Structure 1
Amino acid sequence: MNSSQLAKKPLLSCVVLLALAAPLSAKPLFKAGTALPPPADTLEAAAAPTPISLDLMKQITKRLSADDFEGRAPSTATEPKVLDYIVSQFKAAGLQPGNKGQWLQDVPTVEIEGKNQSPLTITGSKTPLSFSFGDQWVGASYRVTPKTKLKDSPLVFVGYGVVAPELGWNDYAGVDMKGKTAVILVNDPDYATDGEQGLFKGRRMTYYGRWTYKFEEAARQGAAGAIIVHDTFPAAYGWNVVNSSWTGAQYYVQTKNDAMDQTQVNAWVQKDVAEKILAAAGKDLATLTRAAQTKGFKPVPLNLKANVSFDNAIRKSTSHNVVGILPGKNRPDEYVLYSAHWDHLGRCTPDKTGDDICNGAVDNADGVAALTALAKANVQAGPAARSQVFLAVTLEESGLLGSEYYAQKPIYPLAKTVGGVNMDALAPGGRVRDYAMTGGDKSDLTDMFRTALKTRSLVEASENDPEKGGYYRSDHFSMAKRGVPMFAIDRGIDLVVGGKAVGQAANDDYTTNRYHQPSDEYSESWDWSGIQQDVELYYSLGRELADGSTWPNWRAGDEFRAVRDKSCAGEGGC
């Protein structure tokens, strides 16, 4: 579970971080907790036989979260030992090497840390404006270059910075952004709407509301710079989180062109800074914000210029994904993908006892344990019609980089990848009566999910805090944005034994006392019945995809529908 895709390091309290994204990201946390709930009702637990090995999951979780693995930080001296262990478990489960006869996929990354940041200065008005780094503006460059210098770049207010052809929406209509800097609002145009009505699903955030999208789109438009206006309510996190996330090292997948197709600078400014900039241009931020929420909005040149510079300390390294495969018996060139991230934070801020190892037992040693148990169960059941790929990815905590690299350089074509299941941080606790589909009703996978719940006499719960965009903050998103539908499921808080109050208390306890802390450790006292319930559901859903012949697609109007349709229309696709 990555603390933030704004923050790619362990930062602040998890409650705040979960409001974020991968450097401003974080996934919503668990719906059931750690050791607080009593064991699940034994009759219900025994109601349906399961092929999932609980002993195997316990063994792997305990080993991966042991102190001698030092918190599983990627690209450190302990990574080979972690990889050797995962490979040994994949072999024992009966998988075959999944990367052309090899178990590992190299993931080349680059770390860029800004140094000696200048003030952000704005010229073109009667009095130049100057804003200090950290408390008024923060930012970085995606480009692998020792020096960043944005000089006299014309500012253009582009509303929410959205280009959504399927919705008839283009905030960049009629403007050439080459050499210019986009000033962009956070979230998407109808974020203030109660419920999920509206082009952009109302209160539920879409990908267009994510800060990552806004920087990507600015680059596609040819902009030299991009500045997001921070506002606490639509962002769902305070400036302190933005500051912490963007004042340290940033991590990216290496590219052949050293990311020179990206903007020179991606930045954030405080809302009052944006108000001052707009006022210097003779504009009012509140008025322009209201205009930007209306279809047909056109970008507004501000007749001001932005200037900023900083140095970049650069370090390149390589981590690894682990890939195993169970070939299909009827359609081996069609693939179902199972994923979980193996990395965690390594050594971190010591607790009161001096413990500085963030073991990541829940986040995400038990996810890798579930991944391996699913592999073993499928091997024991015999090959499915389609091939099943089991992917333990790296660098999730640094911004989903392992899954992002796989999606950029897929070993198995994404056009032939039917869908899949992602597992991230399975909470110890009792069995529940309810589950939620993260992201809401986005694809045909929801129909399968609802059928599976009905079969188990379970209830569909609403996703907590849909405005925080949790769907876009875990490894399934790297595949989803390239058209591959992935299950991302949250266990509910309505415990069979204890009900919602006990479930919520356990959830809050983990969030406050263990998430991204040394205390996220394995315990022999864990109640595994909720995790087993999760993995039983994953097995059923994954096996249905693997034995089926359908190709799930995104709902009409979903932001990922067009890329899936294009993929399926290609030669040999879908």
Structure 2
Amino acid sequence: MNLKMVAALTLPVLLISACKKIDNVDVAADMPEIAAPELSVETMKSITEELSSDAYEGRAPGTAGEEKTLALLTKKFADAGLEPGNGDSWYQDVPLVGITATKTSPLTIKGKDANLSFNFGSDYVFTSYQEQAKIDITDSEMVFVGYGITAPERGWSDYDGVDVKGKTVVILVNDPDFGTESLEGEFGGRAMTYYGRWTYKYEEAARQGAAAAIIIHDTDPAAYGWNVVESSWTGEQFYAQSSDGGASQTKANGWIQKDAAAKIFAAAGQDMAAQMTAAKKKGFKAVPLGLTASASLENTIKKTDSKNVVGILKGKTRPDEYVIYTAHWDHLGRCKPAPDGDDICNGAVDNATGTAALVALAEAHVKAGAPDRSIIFLAVTAEESGLLGSKYYADNPIYPLDKTVGGVNMDAFGMAGPAKNVVVVGKGKSQLDRYLESALTADGRVAEAEPTPEKGFYYRSDHFSFAKLGVPMIYFEGGEDLVDGGREAGEAISLDYTENKYHGPKDEYNPDWNWDGVMSDLKVYYTVARMLAMTDDWPNWNEGDEFRSIRDKSRAGS
């Protein structure tokens, strides 16, 4: 079936049968089949090229690059025909604090027979969440706390029986099930849970009163190499402003190279491999290492109101029901230089492409005419700093979350060319899957579950901020089963991006990119959201999903 249409306004809306649950009873739901129009590849190219140019200096929040990004997006949203999404304003202020570590010392480790020193950047990284001009970690006792997890609902506590107040905790990345083949286990088998994310590990270390938290970097369970850690953690870091200036957080959080960590364990008379194995088992007991850690850094502190950009296409029959598109406009700014001296992390794929997609989709939806429900176009800030912009919107929604039907997140369009599939991050979690599958079936493509759930991508993009508050969100990307070259070619292109471009200065615009796959994916993004905006269905999380009860409670009060 050809999904192209001559005139969007004359498109017939076809209804197909779908299944939804109301009070756990299957009923029929009307799902409109929407034919995607031609979307503007020129919009995609021009905005991606502009946002990722050196003039935008990597689009870090609170910089001249942000000002240029905001000016461009508001103009493009207005030109597309959207209305300002926050009253008369295109913006939602997001209060942030930027902290840049300077005069960083080596990390020194001392013990009875130990005197080790590790260099900042190449061996370890530290940053502080506390708004203090000087941070000193002095002779802090070190404790290995396994995966650093406290999960009473799973009968798991790595901090049980140990007092880490004022101490430095050493933590493994990912969660205890990493390395298993199935999706069965204490922590979802090979699929990472939120307990495996570095954000959680630092949060829990702070709750336990630790002075510092160091995660042992290991490429496979981290899902990226040390180059990504070094480039991402050695420049200005952004955090949400807090009433206590970060005083409730650890003094310092960071990472250490696995080889360096092995030397620390050896100095403590411990076999790191054996301890890593022990940490995978329920009942693991934290291990005091008999060593102390010392490091210091000075902080340059800057408070700023960064901004989410919000546009809206108001619905014609149910304008107080909302479908949302999300994409983050920010990137890392200036970062560790490449060998050629280039120190701008341009973020062309990640995520100038997704930001450009918001504009291209806005143009198409406006041309098609107002849908029944309103569609929100939300470009969020500070995703790279821990989903801060999307979290701020979700915590302070302009449009009520219990009236937000669901949404689609876009984060980094691959440039490998057309694929036979799309990869769904979190496939099987919600009833939004059927909307995606309907769109793909008409296009002759298939939806596949992400092949590497152990990498925790579900918790690494902006849809998660909405999901954990109950709003069904779907996040999918172009697949690796390429029309030209199959999976082998797709995997090679993906690996090259991850190893040589991701979060580095070489994620730059390339005029020779093949946009055919991007535009094919963009039609799917259009169709899924348009279907949601043209139905009276309220898709939910599937039975048993972690977010189902949250959504049920919010909708019960609607």
**TM-score with structure 2 setting the length:** 0.80
Instruction: Confirm or deny that 1:160 pairs with 2:147.
Output: yes
Q: Which of 200, 222, 229 pairs up with 1:213? A: 200
Instruction: Confirm or deny that 1:553 pairs with 2:541.
Output: yes
Q: Aligned-pair distance for 1:335?
A: 3.0
What CA RMSD, in Å, does the superposition of the two structures yield over aligned residues?
A: 3.7
**Equivalent residue for 1:314?**
301
**Equivalent residue for 2:446?**
459
- 2: CA distance between counterparts of 1:255 and 1:458? 46
**Equivalent residue for 1:126?**
112
Q: Which amino acid aligns with 2:217?
A: H
- 2: CA distance between counterparts of 1:284 and 1:358? 38
Q: Which amino acid aligns with 1:553?
A: W
- 2: CA distance between counterparts of 1:306 and 1:171? 21
Structure having greater relative contact order (Cα 8 Å, sep ≥ 6): 1
- 1: CA distance between counterparts of 2:56 and 2:124? 38
- 2: CA distance between counterparts of 1:236 and 1:441? 22
- 2: CA distance between counterparts of 1:355 and 1:118? 25
- 2: CA distance between counterparts of 1:359 and 1:242? 17
Contact persistence 1:339–1:423 (CA under 8 A): yes
**Equivalent residue for 1:569?**
553
Question: Counterparts of 1:180-191 in structure 2 under 5 Å?
Answer: 180-191=167-178
Contact persistence 1:183–1:228 (CA under 8 A): yes
Instruction: Confirm or deny that 1:197 pairs with 2:187.
Output: no
Q: Which amino acid aligns with 1:377?
A: A
Which SS does the other structure have where 2:94 is aligned?
Answer: strand
Contact persistence 2:215–2:255 (CA under 8 A): yes
Q: Which of 36, 60, 63 pairs up with 1:50? A: 36
**Number of equivalent positions:** 526
**Equivalent residue for 1:36?**
none
Contact persistence 1:350–1:518 (CA under 8 A): no
Question: Counterparts of 1:527-546 in structure 2 under 5 Å?
Answer: 527-546=514-533
Instruction: Confirm or deny that 1:296 pairs with 2:290.
Output: no
Q: Aligned-pair distance for 1:122?
A: 5.1
Which SS does the other structure have where 1:86 is aligned?
Answer: helix
Instruction: Confirm or deny that 1:477 pairs with 2:461.
Output: no
- For residues 144-165 of structure 1, what are the alpha-carbon distances to aligned partners after superposition, in whole Å with 9 as ceiling and x for unaligned? 1112123454443322112334
Q: Aligned-pair distance for 1:46?
A: 5.1
Which SS does the other structure have where 2:245 is aligned?
Answer: coil
Relative distance call for 1:78 and 1:430 in structure 2 (3 A) is closer
Which SS does the other structure have where 1:376 is aligned?
Answer: helix
- After superposing the two structures, state which structure 1 stretch, 208-217 or 82-91, moved more: 82-91
**Equivalent residue for 1:489?**
476
- 1: CA distance between counterparts of 2:335 and 2:261? 35
Q: Aligned-pair distance for 1:437?
A: 0.5
- 1: CA distance between counterparts of 2:394 and 2:226? 31
Q: Aligned-pair distance for 1:188?
A: 0.9
**Equivalent residue for 1:417?**
404
**Equivalent residue for 1:107?**
94
Q: Aligned-pair distance for 1:500?
A: 4.2
Q: Aligned-pair distance for 1:83?
A: 2.0
Q: Which of 521, 543, 547 pairs up with 2:509? A: 521
Which SS does the other structure have where 2:203 is aligned?
Answer: helix
Relative distance call for 1:553 and 1:230 in structure 2 (3 A) is same
Contact persistence 1:415–1:568 (CA under 8 A): no
- For residues 486-528 of structure 1, what are the alpha-carbon distances to aligned partners after superposition, in whole Å with 9 as ceiling and x for unaligned? 22212123334554455456556766787654683363x6544
Contact persistence 1:131–1:137 (CA under 8 A): no
Contact persistence 1:394–1:403 (CA under 8 A): yes
Relative distance call for 1:334 and 1:170 in structure 2 (3 A) is farther
Instruction: Confirm or deny that 1:391 pairs with 2:378.
Output: yes
- 1: CA distance between counterparts of 2:268 and 2:507? 51
- For residues 174-197 of structure 1, what are the alpha-carbon distances to aligned partners after superposition, in whole Å with 9 as ceiling and x for unaligned? 445433433211211011212433
Question: Counterparts of 1:243-322 in structure 2 under 5 Å?
Answer: 243-271=230-258, 273-275=260-262, 277-278=264-265, 283-302=270-289, 305-322=292-309
Which SS does the other structure have where 1:488 is aligned?
Answer: strand
- For residues 338-358 of structure 1, what are the alpha-carbon distances to aligned partners after superposition, in whole Å with 9 as ceiling and x for unaligned? 112233456778999998876
- After superposing the two structures, state which structure 1 stretch, 512-521 or 377-386, moved more: 512-521
Contact persistence 2:500–2:506 (CA under 8 A): no
- 1: CA distance between counterparts of 2:510 and 2:162? 55
Which SS does the other structure have where 2:174 is aligned?
Answer: coil
**Equivalent residue for 1:17?**
none
Q: Aligned-pair distance for 1:557?
A: 5.6
- 1: CA distance between counterparts of 2:325 and 2:4? 26
Which SS does the other structure have where 1:114 is aligned?
Answer: strand
- 2: CA distance between counterparts of 1:108 and 1:417? 24
Which SS does the other structure have where 1:368 is aligned?
Answer: helix
Structure 1: unaligned runs, 5 residues or longer: 1-42
Q: Aligned-pair distance for 1:207?
A: 2.2
Relative distance call for 1:310 and 1:59 in structure 2 (3 A) is closer
Specify which structure has the higher proportion of strand. 2
Contact persistence 2:469–2:550 (CA under 8 A): no
Identity %: 54
- 2: CA distance between counterparts of 1:286 and 1:457? 47
Q: Which amino acid aligns with 2:307?
A: H
Which SS does the other structure have where 2:471 is aligned?
Answer: coil
Q: Aligned-pair distance for 1:280?
A: 5.8
- After superposing the two structures, state which structure 1 stretch, 539-548 or 208-217, moved more: 539-548
- After superposing the two structures, state which structure 1 stretch, 453-462 or 502-511, moved more: 502-511
Q: Aligned-pair distance for 1:199?
A: 2.6
**Equivalent residue for 2:29?**
none
Q: Aligned-pair distance for 1:457?
A: 2.9
**TM-score with structure 1 setting the length:** 0.78
Q: Which amino acid aligns with 1:453?
A: L
- 1: CA distance between counterparts of 2:53 and 2:167? 50
Contact persistence 2:319–2:373 (CA under 8 A): yes
Relative distance call for 1:539 and 1:243 in structure 2 (3 A) is closer
Q: Aligned-pair distance for 1:302?
A: 4.8
Contact persistence 1:52–1:374 (CA under 8 A): no
- 2: CA distance between counterparts of 1:217 and 1:530? 41
Which SS does the other structure have where 1:539 is aligned?
Answer: helix
